[in-house]
Amino acid sequence: MGEIRLEKVHKAFGSTVVIPEIDLEIADNEFVVFVGPSGCGKSTLLRLIAGLEDTTSGRILIDGEDMTARSPAKRGLSMVFQSYALYPHMSVYKNIAFPLKMAGADKAAIDEKVRNAARILNLTDYLDRRPGQLSGGQRQRVAIGRAIVREPKAFLFDEPLSNLDAALRGSMRLEISELHHQLNTTMIYVTHDQVEAMTMADKIVVLNAGRIEQVGSPLELYRSPRNLFVAGFIGSPRMNLVQGIEAEKMGAATIGVRPEHLQLSTESGHWKGRVGVAEHLGSDTFLHVDIDGIGQLTARADGEFALRHGETVYLTPSPERLHRFDDAGNALS
Protein backbone atom coordinates (compact mmCIF):
# COMPACT_ATOMS: atom_id res chain seq x y z
CA MET A 1 0.00 0.00 0.00
CA GLY A 2 1.15 3.53 -0.62
CA GLU A 3 -1.65 6.02 -0.22
CA ILE A 4 -0.46 9.50 0.65
CA ARG A 5 -2.63 12.36 1.84
CA LEU A 6 -1.57 15.94 2.52
CA GLU A 7 -3.91 17.93 4.75
CA LYS A 8 -3.47 21.72 4.88
CA VAL A 9 0.31 21.32 4.59
CA HIS A 10 2.04 24.65 5.06
CA LYS A 11 5.74 25.42 4.94
CA ALA A 12 7.59 28.64 5.66
CA PHE A 13 11.29 29.33 6.10
CA GLY A 14 11.24 32.17 8.60
CA SER A 15 9.04 34.84 7.07
CA THR A 16 9.28 33.34 3.57
CA VAL A 17 6.24 31.23 2.76
CA VAL A 18 7.14 28.46 0.32
CA ILE A 19 3.95 26.40 0.49
CA PRO A 20 0.92 28.51 1.52
CA GLU A 21 -1.43 25.57 2.16
CA ILE A 22 -1.85 22.40 0.18
CA ASP A 23 -4.37 19.55 0.23
CA LEU A 24 -3.61 16.59 -2.00
CA GLU A 25 -4.49 12.93 -2.28
CA ILE A 26 -2.28 10.37 -3.98
CA ALA A 27 -3.82 6.94 -4.51
CA ASP A 28 -2.04 3.63 -4.09
CA ASN A 29 0.09 2.59 -7.09
CA GLU A 30 -0.38 5.95 -8.75
CA PHE A 31 2.43 7.66 -10.71
CA VAL A 32 2.12 11.30 -9.74
CA VAL A 33 4.29 14.03 -11.22
CA PHE A 34 4.79 17.40 -9.53
CA VAL A 35 5.61 19.86 -12.26
CA GLY A 36 6.22 23.58 -12.24
CA PRO A 37 8.85 26.22 -12.92
CA SER A 38 11.99 26.59 -10.79
CA GLY A 39 11.23 27.80 -7.29
CA CYS A 40 7.57 26.79 -7.36
CA GLY A 41 7.99 24.62 -4.25
CA LYS A 42 7.75 21.20 -5.90
CA SER A 43 11.01 19.90 -4.43
CA THR A 44 10.13 21.33 -1.03
CA LEU A 45 6.79 19.53 -1.18
CA LEU A 46 8.58 16.27 -1.98
CA ARG A 47 11.03 16.82 0.87
CA LEU A 48 8.13 17.48 3.23
CA ILE A 49 6.61 14.13 2.24
CA ALA A 50 10.02 12.47 2.65
CA GLY A 51 10.47 14.00 6.09
CA LEU A 52 13.68 15.81 5.14
CA GLU A 53 11.92 19.09 5.94
CA ASP A 54 9.54 19.69 8.82
CA THR A 55 6.08 21.03 8.04
CA THR A 56 5.24 24.38 9.59
CA SER A 57 1.65 23.19 10.00
CA GLY A 58 -0.69 20.58 8.52
CA ARG A 59 -0.58 16.79 8.41
CA ILE A 60 0.99 14.18 6.13
CA LEU A 61 -0.73 10.79 6.20
CA ILE A 62 0.69 7.65 4.67
CA ASP A 63 -1.75 4.75 4.49
CA GLY A 64 -3.99 6.65 6.89
CA GLU A 65 -1.28 6.99 9.53
CA ASP A 66 -0.11 10.45 10.61
CA MET A 67 3.59 10.60 9.69
CA THR A 68 4.08 14.37 10.10
CA ALA A 69 6.44 14.02 13.06
CA ARG A 70 8.12 10.76 11.99
CA SER A 71 11.75 10.65 10.90
CA PRO A 72 12.44 10.03 7.17
CA ALA A 73 13.47 6.40 7.67
CA LYS A 74 10.29 5.55 9.59
CA ARG A 75 7.95 6.74 6.84
CA GLY A 76 8.62 3.72 4.66
CA LEU A 77 9.53 5.82 1.62
CA SER A 78 12.55 5.73 -0.68
CA MET A 79 14.01 8.70 -2.46
CA VAL A 80 16.11 9.07 -5.59
CA PHE A 81 18.03 12.35 -5.65
CA GLN A 82 18.89 14.59 -8.57
CA SER A 83 22.60 14.23 -7.76
CA TYR A 84 22.17 10.43 -7.29
CA ALA A 85 23.64 10.91 -3.78
CA LEU A 86 25.56 7.63 -3.92
CA TYR A 87 28.10 6.85 -1.21
CA PRO A 88 31.36 7.37 -3.13
CA HIS A 89 33.48 5.28 -0.76
CA MET A 90 31.28 2.18 -1.13
CA SER A 91 31.00 -0.31 -4.00
CA VAL A 92 27.75 -0.57 -5.96
CA TYR A 93 26.92 -3.69 -3.91
CA LYS A 94 27.45 -1.86 -0.62
CA ASN A 95 25.52 1.17 -1.84
CA ILE A 96 22.48 -0.95 -2.64
CA ALA A 97 22.90 -2.98 0.55
CA PHE A 98 23.21 0.09 2.81
CA PRO A 99 19.50 0.55 3.67
CA LEU A 100 19.19 -3.17 4.44
CA LYS A 101 22.28 -3.05 6.63
CA MET A 102 20.83 -0.08 8.50
CA ALA A 103 17.62 -2.05 9.01
CA GLY A 104 19.65 -4.88 10.54
CA ALA A 105 18.85 -7.49 7.86
CA ASP A 106 20.97 -10.67 7.87
CA LYS A 107 23.69 -11.19 5.27
CA ALA A 108 21.88 -13.84 3.23
CA ALA A 109 18.74 -11.71 2.92
CA ILE A 110 20.83 -8.67 1.97
CA ASP A 111 22.69 -10.64 -0.68
CA GLU A 112 19.50 -11.99 -2.22
CA LYS A 113 17.81 -8.60 -2.40
CA VAL A 114 20.87 -6.78 -3.71
CA ARG A 115 21.39 -9.35 -6.48
CA ASN A 116 17.72 -9.26 -7.36
CA ALA A 117 17.73 -5.46 -7.64
CA ALA A 118 20.95 -5.59 -9.67
CA ARG A 119 19.34 -8.08 -12.05
CA ILE A 120 16.24 -5.89 -12.55
CA LEU A 121 18.44 -2.85 -13.23
CA ASN A 122 21.15 -4.59 -15.30
CA LEU A 123 23.82 -3.83 -12.73
CA THR A 124 25.04 -7.37 -12.01
CA ASP A 125 28.37 -6.82 -13.79
CA TYR A 126 29.08 -3.62 -11.91
CA LEU A 127 28.52 -4.70 -8.30
CA ASP A 128 32.20 -4.42 -7.35
CA ARG A 129 32.72 -1.01 -8.90
CA ARG A 130 32.73 2.31 -7.12
CA PRO A 131 30.22 5.00 -8.20
CA GLY A 132 33.08 7.05 -9.64
CA GLN A 133 33.72 4.32 -12.21
CA LEU A 134 30.15 4.36 -13.56
CA SER A 135 28.40 6.44 -16.21
CA GLY A 136 25.60 8.84 -15.31
CA GLY A 137 22.88 6.39 -16.33
CA GLN A 138 24.46 3.55 -14.35
CA ARG A 139 24.78 5.77 -11.30
CA GLN A 140 21.13 6.66 -11.58
CA ARG A 141 20.28 2.95 -11.72
CA VAL A 142 22.31 2.31 -8.57
CA ALA A 143 20.36 5.07 -6.85
CA ILE A 144 17.13 3.41 -7.98
CA GLY A 145 18.47 0.02 -6.82
CA ARG A 146 19.13 1.45 -3.39
CA ALA A 147 15.54 2.68 -3.34
CA ILE A 148 14.06 -0.62 -4.54
CA VAL A 149 15.63 -2.94 -1.94
CA ARG A 150 13.79 -1.22 0.89
CA GLU A 151 10.49 -2.26 -0.70
CA PRO A 152 9.03 1.12 0.15
CA LYS A 153 5.39 2.17 0.24
CA ALA A 154 6.25 4.86 -2.29
CA PHE A 155 9.20 6.08 -4.33
CA LEU A 156 10.08 9.75 -4.37
CA PHE A 157 12.07 11.02 -7.35
CA ASP A 158 13.59 14.50 -7.20
CA GLU A 159 14.39 15.53 -10.78
CA PRO A 160 16.30 12.26 -11.28
CA LEU A 161 17.05 12.72 -14.96
CA SER A 162 18.13 16.34 -15.13
CA ASN A 163 21.86 15.50 -14.97
CA LEU A 164 21.67 13.12 -17.94
CA ASP A 165 22.05 13.94 -21.62
CA ALA A 166 18.95 14.08 -23.82
CA ALA A 167 19.26 10.58 -25.30
CA LEU A 168 19.83 8.90 -21.95
CA ARG A 169 17.04 10.92 -20.43
CA GLY A 170 14.64 9.45 -22.97
CA SER A 171 15.64 5.85 -22.27
CA MET A 172 15.73 6.29 -18.49
CA ARG A 173 12.25 7.84 -18.67
CA LEU A 174 11.07 4.64 -20.28
CA GLU A 175 12.89 2.48 -17.73
CA ILE A 176 11.31 4.29 -14.80
CA SER A 177 7.85 3.93 -16.36
CA GLU A 178 8.47 0.20 -16.89
CA LEU A 179 9.71 -0.11 -13.32
CA HIS A 180 6.46 1.43 -12.13
CA HIS A 181 4.47 -1.26 -13.92
CA GLN A 182 6.80 -3.97 -12.68
CA LEU A 183 6.84 -2.94 -9.02
CA ASN A 184 3.30 -1.61 -8.83
CA THR A 185 4.19 0.95 -6.20
CA THR A 186 3.21 4.57 -5.72
CA MET A 187 5.70 6.94 -7.29
CA ILE A 188 5.96 10.69 -6.84
CA TYR A 189 8.18 12.34 -9.39
CA VAL A 190 9.32 15.95 -9.40
CA THR A 191 10.37 17.64 -12.63
CA HIS A 192 10.35 21.00 -14.34
CA ASP A 193 10.17 19.26 -17.70
CA GLN A 194 6.59 19.08 -18.89
CA VAL A 195 7.51 16.40 -21.46
CA GLU A 196 8.56 14.07 -18.62
CA ALA A 197 5.34 14.92 -16.80
CA MET A 198 3.13 14.26 -19.83
CA THR A 199 4.82 10.99 -20.82
CA MET A 200 5.16 9.35 -17.41
CA ALA A 201 2.33 10.48 -15.18
CA ASP A 202 -1.00 8.94 -14.29
CA LYS A 203 -1.71 12.23 -12.59
CA ILE A 204 0.02 15.58 -12.91
CA VAL A 205 0.07 18.19 -10.16
CA VAL A 206 0.92 21.60 -11.62
CA LEU A 207 2.48 23.86 -9.02
CA ASN A 208 3.10 27.59 -9.13
CA ALA A 209 4.43 29.71 -6.26
CA GLY A 210 3.70 26.90 -3.80
CA ARG A 211 0.06 26.55 -4.86
CA ILE A 212 -1.57 23.76 -6.81
CA GLU A 213 -2.84 25.23 -10.07
CA GLN A 214 -4.46 22.03 -11.33
CA VAL A 215 -4.47 18.29 -10.74
CA GLY A 216 -5.43 15.86 -13.47
CA SER A 217 -4.37 13.28 -16.00
CA PRO A 218 -1.95 14.49 -18.70
CA LEU A 219 -4.71 14.64 -21.31
CA GLU A 220 -7.13 16.45 -18.98
CA LEU A 221 -4.55 19.16 -18.43
CA TYR A 222 -3.81 19.31 -22.12
CA ARG A 223 -7.44 19.48 -23.18
CA SER A 224 -8.91 21.55 -20.38
CA PRO A 225 -6.35 23.74 -18.62
CA ARG A 226 -8.06 25.45 -15.72
CA ASN A 227 -6.15 28.71 -16.10
CA LEU A 228 -3.59 30.59 -18.14
CA PHE A 229 -0.65 29.25 -16.13
CA VAL A 230 -1.50 25.61 -16.82
CA ALA A 231 -2.36 26.44 -20.44
CA GLY A 232 1.04 28.01 -20.93
CA PHE A 233 2.97 25.36 -19.03
CA ILE A 234 1.56 22.14 -20.45
CA GLY A 235 2.17 21.44 -24.12
CA SER A 236 5.20 21.87 -26.31
CA PRO A 237 5.57 24.24 -28.09
CA ARG A 238 3.57 26.47 -25.76
CA MET A 239 -0.03 27.38 -26.40
CA ASN A 240 -0.49 30.64 -28.35
CA LEU A 241 -2.20 33.24 -26.19
CA VAL A 242 -3.94 36.20 -27.82
CA GLN A 243 -5.33 39.23 -26.03
CA GLY A 244 -7.07 42.42 -27.13
CA ILE A 245 -9.73 42.88 -29.81
CA GLU A 246 -9.35 39.40 -31.28
CA ALA A 247 -10.00 37.86 -27.84
CA GLU A 248 -12.89 40.24 -27.10
CA LYS A 249 -14.53 39.22 -30.37
CA MET A 250 -14.74 35.72 -28.92
CA GLY A 251 -16.05 36.94 -25.55
CA ALA A 252 -12.86 36.47 -23.54
CA ALA A 253 -9.98 38.51 -22.12
CA THR A 254 -7.49 36.01 -23.52
CA ILE A 255 -7.87 33.23 -26.02
CA GLY A 256 -5.52 30.31 -26.36
CA VAL A 257 -4.89 27.96 -29.23
CA ARG A 258 -2.24 25.27 -29.42
CA PRO A 259 0.14 25.23 -32.43
CA GLU A 260 -1.29 21.87 -33.53
CA HIS A 261 -4.82 23.31 -33.58
CA LEU A 262 -4.14 26.06 -36.09
CA GLN A 263 -5.06 25.18 -39.67
CA LEU A 264 -2.69 26.52 -42.27
CA SER A 265 -3.50 27.70 -45.75
CA THR A 266 -1.75 29.71 -48.43
CA GLU A 267 -5.06 31.00 -49.83
CA SER A 268 -7.50 31.98 -47.12
CA GLY A 269 -8.13 31.85 -43.40
CA HIS A 270 -8.97 33.71 -40.19
CA TRP A 271 -5.64 35.48 -39.64
CA LYS A 272 -3.26 36.58 -42.36
CA GLY A 273 0.44 36.65 -41.54
CA ARG A 274 4.01 36.31 -42.76
CA VAL A 275 6.29 33.37 -42.06
CA GLY A 276 9.16 34.24 -39.73
CA VAL A 277 11.39 31.38 -38.61
CA ALA A 278 10.50 27.84 -39.69
CA GLU A 279 11.83 25.02 -37.48
CA HIS A 280 12.04 21.74 -39.39
CA LEU A 281 12.02 18.71 -37.13
CA GLY A 282 11.55 16.18 -39.90
CA SER A 283 8.15 14.83 -38.83
CA ASP A 284 6.81 18.32 -38.11
CA THR A 285 7.58 21.88 -39.03
CA PHE A 286 6.95 24.66 -36.53
CA LEU A 287 6.24 27.97 -38.19
CA HIS A 288 6.54 31.24 -36.31
CA VAL A 289 4.10 33.53 -38.05
CA ASP A 290 3.93 37.32 -37.57
CA ILE A 291 0.36 38.62 -37.66
CA ASP A 292 -0.44 42.33 -37.66
CA GLY A 293 -2.27 43.43 -34.52
CA ILE A 294 -1.70 40.14 -32.72
CA GLY A 295 2.01 39.42 -32.70
CA GLN A 296 3.79 36.15 -33.29
CA LEU A 297 1.92 32.82 -33.28
CA THR A 298 3.40 29.34 -33.56
CA ALA A 299 1.72 26.83 -35.84
CA ARG A 300 2.47 23.18 -36.48
CA ALA A 301 2.58 21.97 -40.05
CA ASP A 302 3.59 18.58 -41.35
CA GLY A 303 7.23 17.94 -42.08
CA GLU A 304 6.90 18.48 -45.84
CA PHE A 305 5.25 21.88 -45.52
CA ALA A 306 7.52 24.24 -47.45
CA LEU A 307 7.07 27.98 -47.02
CA ARG A 308 9.91 30.45 -47.05
CA HIS A 309 10.71 33.35 -44.77
CA GLY A 310 8.42 36.33 -45.53
CA GLU A 311 5.80 34.40 -47.49
CA THR A 312 2.12 34.91 -46.71
CA VAL A 313 0.22 32.29 -44.79
CA TYR A 314 -3.31 32.12 -43.35
CA LEU A 315 -4.04 30.65 -39.91
CA THR A 316 -7.44 29.45 -38.72
CA PRO A 317 -8.00 28.24 -35.14
CA SER A 318 -10.19 25.15 -34.73
CA PRO A 319 -13.22 26.54 -32.88
CA GLU A 320 -13.76 23.39 -30.79
CA ARG A 321 -10.10 23.52 -29.66
CA LEU A 322 -10.11 27.16 -28.68
CA HIS A 323 -9.52 28.01 -25.00
CA ARG A 324 -11.07 31.13 -23.52
CA PHE A 325 -9.92 32.83 -20.31
CA ASP A 326 -11.39 35.70 -18.24
CA ASP A 327 -9.60 38.78 -16.82
CA ALA A 328 -8.29 36.80 -13.85
CA GLY A 329 -6.82 34.20 -16.19
CA ASN A 330 -9.34 31.47 -15.32
CA ALA A 331 -10.81 29.30 -18.04
CA LEU A 332 -14.34 30.14 -19.24
CA SER A 333 -16.63 27.20 -19.77
Partner 1 sequence: MARAVSTRTRLTFTVIGWLVGFVIFFPILWTVLTSFKSEGAAIATPPQFLFFEWTAENYVEVNSRSDYLKHFMNSVVISLGSTLLGLLIAIPAAWAMAFAPTKRTKDVLLWMLSTKMLPAVGVLVPIYLLFRDAGLLDTRIGLVLVLTMANLPIIVWMLYTYFREIPGDILEAARMDGASLAKEIIYVLTPMAVPGIASTLLLNIILAWNEAFWTLNLTAAKAAPLTAFIASYSSPEGLFWAKLSAASTLAIAPILIMGWFSQRQLVRGLTFGAVK
Chain residues binding partner 1 by CB under 8 A are 50, 52, 71-73, 77-79, 81-83, 85-89, 98-99, 102-103, 146, 150
Shortest Cβ distance from residue 85 to partner 1 (Å)? 4
Q: Are strands 295-302 and 284-291 parallel, antiparallel or unpaired?
A: antiparallel
Determine which helix (DSSP H) or strand (DSSP E) holds 324, and give its type and residue range.
strand 323-325
Q: Which is nearer to partner 1, 50 or 257 (CB)?
A: 50
Minimum CB distance to partner 1, residue 78 (Å): 7
| CB of 87 or CB of 248, closer to partner 1 | 87
- Which lies closer to partner 1 via its Cβ, residue 12 or residue 85? 85
Cβ-contact 271, 250 below 8 angstroms: no
Min separation Cβ 304 and partner 1, Å: 45
Our CB check for partner 1 shows the closer of 22 and 154 to be: 154
Which helix or strand (DSSP H or E) is residue 302 part of? Answer: strand 295-302
Output the DSSP codes for 19-44: EEEEEEEE-TT-EEEEE-STTSSHHH
CB of 290 to partner 1, least distance (A): 43
The smaller minimum CB distance to partner 1, of residues 71 and 283, is found at 71
Cβ at position 76, least distance to partner 1 in Å? 10
Phi/psi for 273 (5° steps) reads -150, 180
Min dist. Cβ of residue 4 to partner 1 (A): 16
The dihedral over CA atoms of 211, 323, 194, 265, expressed in degrees to the nearest 10, equals -160
CA distance 172 to 170: 6
CB-wise, 154 or 289, nearer to partner 1? 154
CA dihedral in degrees (57, 58, 62, 66; nearest 10)? 80
**Are the C-beta atoms of residues 191 and 40 closer than 8 Å to each other?**
no
- Minimum CB separation of residue 72 from partner 1 in Å reads 5
Phi-psi region of 45 (alpha: psi -120 to 50; beta: other; left: phi over 0): alpha
State how far the Cα of 290 lies from the Cα of 211, in Å rounded to an integer: 35
Nearer to partner 1, 87 or 263 (CB): 87
Phi-psi region of 58 (alpha: psi -120 to 50; beta: other; left: phi over 0): left
